[in-house]
């Protein structure tokens, strides 16, 4: 039997490399697996040998102990891999194909999938619409920070790269297609970014940098990125963004210094529920980003909200926050006729187009997010450095495909 090592959550602040079973075409019981999914046949799936799998800020929320994730949950929803086995019901995907895996697991058969709402598939998670690999309350599909991973509904879910050699050459860019590039793009699209737009992106982590890159790709005139981390702000400036330092106060005055007016056409929240207030020494205040975006987005504008918000946060600052209830100034949004789009990005809506932009050198997302390949056994160090604020997107290299 082929060995399989994986990165697992071992409690707040701790991840470890563990041995797990090699995947089969049946969903087995394990940490976080929904009991109704145990024994589920996956004849429509494939087994991938992982080419690249990334550490995501959403993983970091779990590792910090800010969700109800169980111990030994195998992490990883940003997956690119080479097909090594195909289930008996797979028709089009073949052994040897190198493919990007959307982090959303979708059946391709339900009403939502047919309407391109693959982030809220109705058939893959018995508890609620929507599912993902290696994530709390998402049905229990095993994560991809491992040597091998099972992908269900393979003909539907997988994005096959057209040329294997070209894909391996551009893998550090292509690995971003599983999540952060489409997610950032979705944030920009739903914020209404177009040619000549002025855009404010809250958060200079990888998703924020991907959103800023996407705004540029969509033709924005000015992209402003706000954060408190000097290294991450420098990374945003490295590809042409304006930046504001939120440790010096809120965004409105600093935006006015850049644009002459204290508002932008489009706003993107790439922070989520662990947001802090503004100013030096600011403490966690989870509604800060959403309220400040409503303040600085022009009347009639829109907010794209790819930042993660949860319904269960053991570390919430108060009882309301622990249930995902935030003190939003909804009256501001109503008075200004602002539109809001939240939830998982439907990756399949964008990933092929973004793949083509990468393959034809229209965008260099790996450079913009400062991607760095590390060995699978170095994942605990990568998690620690990312949690400490490193301006780096860590890409795990479980099987030696990456140089």
pLDDT tens digit sequence for 30-56: 999 999 999 999 999 999 999 999 999
Q: What is the largest CA-CA distance in the chain?
A: 65
pLDDT at 385 exceeding the cut of 90: yes
**Tokens 């993107």 — which residue?**
268
Could you read off the pLDDT of 230-260 as tens digits, one per residue? Answer: 999 999 999 999 999 999 999 999 999 999 9
Q: Residue 216 — very low, low, confident or very high, per pLDDT cuts 50/70/90?
A: very high
How far from 290 is each of 43, 274, 295, 359, 390, CA to CA, in Å? 43, 12, 9, 35, 24
Could you read off the pLDDT of 106-130 as tens digits, one per residue? Answer: 999 999 999 999 999 999 999 999 9
Could you read off the pLDDT of 59-98 as tens digits, one per residue? Answer: 999 999 999 899 999 999 999 999 999 999 999 999 999 9
In DSSP notation, 175-243 reads GGGGTHHHHHHHHHHHTT--TT-EEEEE--SHHHHHHHHHHHHTT-SEEEEEES-HHHHHHHHTTT-EE
Q: What integer is the mean pLDDT of 298-310?
A: 96
Spatial distance between the Cα atoms of 199 and 216, rounded to a whole number of angstroms: 10
Q: What integer is the mean pLDDT of 159-184?
A: 98
Indicate the SS3 state at residue 375: strand
Specify the pLDDT at position 313.
87
Per-chain mean pLDDT for the chain: 96
pLDDT at 312 exceeding the cut of 90: no
Please state at what angle helix 206-217 crosses helix 230-237, rounded to 10 degrees.
Answer: 20
pLDDT at 287 exceeding the cut of 70: yes
Higher-scoring residue by pLDDT: 41, 1: 41
Q: Residue 270 — very low, low, confident or very high, per pLDDT cuts 50/70/90?
A: very high
pTM for the model? 0.96
Q: What percent of the chain has pLDDT over 70?
A: 100
Q: What integer is the mean pLDDT of 169-181?
A: 98
Specify the pLDDT at position 403.
78
Phi, psi of 363, deg, nearest 5: -155, 150
According to DSSP, the residues that pair with 198 across neighbouring strands are 222
Q: Which helix (H) or strand (E) holds 379?
A: helix 379-387
Q: Residue 3 — very low, low, confident or very high, per pLDDT cuts 50/70/90?
A: confident
The domains of the chain, with CATH numbers, are: 5-179+346-397 (3.90.180.10), 181-341 (3.40.50.720)
Helices (runs of H) and strands (runs of E) counted in the chain: 15, 15
Could you read off the pLDDT of 317-353 as tens digits, one per residue? Answer: 899 999 889 999 999 999 999 999 999 999 999 999 9
Specify the pLDDT at position 27.
93
Spatial distance between the Cα atoms of 193 and 185, rounded to a whole number of angstroms: 10
Specify the pLDDT at position 1.
54
Spatial distance between the Cα atoms of 207 and 2, rounded to a whole number of angstroms: 34
Q: What percent of the chain has pLDDT over 90?
A: 93
Q: Residue 281 — very low, low, confident or very high, per pLDDT cuts 50/70/90?
A: confident
Spatial distance between the Cα atoms of 204 and 265, rounded to a whole number of angstroms: 19
Spatial distance between the Cα atoms of 52 and 56, rounded to a whole number of angstroms: 13
Strand pairing report for 15-19 and 159-160: unpaired
Specify the pLDDT at position 311.
87
């Amino acid at each position: 039997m082929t060995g399989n090592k994986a990165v697992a959550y071992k409690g707040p602040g701790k991840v470890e490399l563990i041995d797990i079973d090699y995947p089969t075409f049946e969903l087995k019981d394990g940490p976080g697996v929904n009991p109704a999914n145990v024994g589920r046949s996956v004849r429509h799936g494939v087994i991938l040998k992982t080419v690249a799998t990334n550490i995501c800020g959403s993983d970091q929320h779990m590792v910090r102990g800010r969700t109800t994730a169980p111990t030994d949950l195998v992490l990883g929803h940003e997956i690119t891999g080479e097909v090594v086995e195909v289930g008996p019901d797979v028709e089009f995907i073949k052994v040897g194909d190198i493919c990007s895996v959307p982090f959303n697991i979708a059946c391709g058969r339900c009403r939502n999938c047919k309407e391109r709402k693959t982030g809220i598939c109705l058939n893959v998670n018995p508890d609620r619409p929507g599912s993902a690999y290696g994530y709390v309350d998402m049905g229990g599909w095993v994560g991809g920070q491992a040597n091998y991973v099972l992908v269900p509904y393979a003909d539907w879910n997988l994005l096959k790269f057209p040329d294997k050699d070209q894909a391996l050459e551009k893998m550090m860019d292509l690995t971003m297609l599983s999540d952060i590039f489409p997610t950032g793009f979705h944030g920009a699209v739903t914020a209404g970014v177009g040619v000549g737009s002025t855009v404010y992106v809250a958060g200079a982590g990888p998703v924020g940098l991907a959103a800023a890159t996407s705004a540029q790709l969509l033709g924005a005139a000015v992209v402003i990125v706000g954060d408190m981390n000097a290294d991450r702000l420098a990374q945003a400036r490295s590809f042409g963004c304006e930046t504001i330092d939120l440790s010096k106060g809120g965004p409105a005055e600093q935006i006015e210094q850049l644009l002459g007016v204290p508002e932008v056409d489009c706003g993107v929240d790439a922070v989520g529920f662990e947001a802090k207030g503004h100013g030096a020494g600011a403490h966690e205040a989870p509604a800060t980003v959403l309220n400040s975006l409503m303040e600085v987005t022009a009347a009639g504008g829109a907010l794209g909200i790819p930042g993660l918000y949860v319904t269960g946060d053991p570390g919430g600052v108060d009882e309301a926050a622990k249930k995902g209830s935030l003190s939003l100034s909804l009256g501001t949004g109503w008075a200004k006729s602002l539109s809001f789009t939240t939830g998982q990005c439907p990756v399949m809506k964008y990933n092929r187009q973004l793949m083509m932009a990468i393959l034809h050198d229209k965008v260099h997302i790996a450079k913009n997010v400062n991607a760095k390949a590390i060995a699978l056994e170095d994942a605990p160090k990568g998690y620690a450095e990312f949690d400490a604020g490193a301006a780096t997107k860590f890409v795990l290299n479980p099987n030696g495909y990456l140089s």
